[in-house]
Structure 1
Amino acid sequence: MSEVVSIGALRHRLSVEEPVETADALGGATILHVVTGDTWAAIRAKSLAEKLDAADRLGGVVTHEIVLRADVSVRAGWRLSGGGRRFRVLSVASPNDGGGFLRCLAEEESG
């Protein structure tokens, strides 16, 4: 989606979720994701890979490019979710073409 994106391509409704760390009684922390807003997005799969999880199980990793309107606040480490899917934002590029869109590289999370 490096080309100019039309507003009609933004057909996926996603919630923007900011991670918020909360201290627990044992001196650790829990990370909760708080919805900060909703937006329309264009989603395109960029690459596929495999990796081992903590239990040495093989799992798939799908990396996506997600285009959002630039009036949304999102940063690396945040999540985008909607339609039964959840994406972890890896990086965010500001609009440089004056088109008013943010381009996010994201990894789809399972479970």
Structure 2
Amino acid sequence: AAFGSLYVLEGSALGGQVLTPMLLARHGLTPERGAAYFHGFGERTGAMWREFRQLADAQAGANETDRDAACHAAVQTFQALIETFASVGAGAPDLPVAATAPSMSFVSTAAATSVATPQ
């Protein structure tokens, strides 16, 4: 199940690579000045993501029970983050259903499609 939570956290490092140029362009933020979190692993982010995916596929993709547990943990992690940001006034975005069902190669299709939209 831990791989599901790690998927969310490691995926945020990957997503930060998309956000970093926008933060620089719109707000002048750099990894050294206000945007360190979004910098992830810097130039190694892509390689680190691939390494994580290989490990997750090997460990959490071993059987359907493990895949289902990983998917559940990922959804719970997303939900916890949404609730945390909402509690500090950031609000929860209106997410499409696809955003609530992470696409993890180690997660079975049945498990990913059975995920409910966050309450």
Give the TM-score taking structure 2 as reference length: 0.24
Say which structure is richer in helix. Answer: 2
Task: Give the structure, 1 or 2, with the largest relative contact order (CA under 8 Å, sep 6 or more).
Answer: 2
- Looking at secondary structure, tell me which structure has more strand per residue: 1
